[in-house]
Structure 1
Amino acid sequence: PVNVPEGTTALEAAKLSGISDIFPEIDPDMIDMGVFGKVIKDPAAHELREGDRVELYRPLKIDPKQARLNRAKKKGQAQ
């Protein structure tokens, strides 16, 4: 968890977390964000409240339907 002062925006909190140091492919300025599962339209303007959990949404590596199909094919080959 990252504790930030009241009035900090979601974007500022993401930058303060140092997430880009751990995952260089994540750019807080470019990634979609949310709070408790609800997408934030403008993270730079969304002020956080006490207890908010900021979420960073990375693009999916593979379409979920394709992933299911791949697993089914793999399971079918194993039998």
Structure 2
Amino acid sequence: MRVQVVRAWPERFEAEELELPAGATVDDALRATRLPREGVAGVAVHGMRVRGDAPLADGDRVELLGPLLADPKESRRRRAQAQAGRRPR
């Protein structure tokens, strides 16, 4: 089966097509890829975060996830403050 492994960082995008045997898992794809793995904070398949033992299907896209650039809680707080400042009083 054919699987694509992608690494999309703000400054660059890399992709590699792999041919894996039926029944392969995310861990199998990670072992087979030549893409750099430093800085990887997690893995997703078609945008859904998965564990390494997740099975893959033909045509799947395995995404190497980078670290968060901002704390989600802090980002929500800043957006709420900005919206509160724009509301008519």
TM range (shorter): 0.5 to 0.7
Unaligned regions of 5+ residues in structure 2, if any? 1-16, 76-89
Asked if residue 34 in structure 1 is aligned to residue 57 in structure 2, the reply is no
| Structure-1 residue corresponding to 2:70 | 63
For the 8 Å contact 2:23–2:56, the answer to whether it is kept is yes
| Structure-2 residue corresponding to 1:73 | none
CA-to-aligned-CA distance 1:5-32 (integer Å, 9 cap, x gap): 111110110120122xxx35246xxx41
- Provide the aligned C-alpha RMSD in A: 2.1
Q: 1:48, 1:38 → 2: CA distance? A: 13
More helix per residue: 1 or 2?
Answer: 1
Q: Secondary structure at the match of 2:19?
A: coil
Q: How many residues align?
A: 56
Q: Secondary structure at the match of 2:20?
A: coil
More strand per residue: 1 or 2?
Answer: 2
TM-score (ref. length: structure 2): 0.52
| Structure-2 residue corresponding to 1:48 | 56
Unaligned regions of 5+ residues in structure 1, if any? 66-79
Structure 1 residue 63: Cα displacement: 2.1
Q: 1:24, 1:13 → 2: CA distance? A: 12
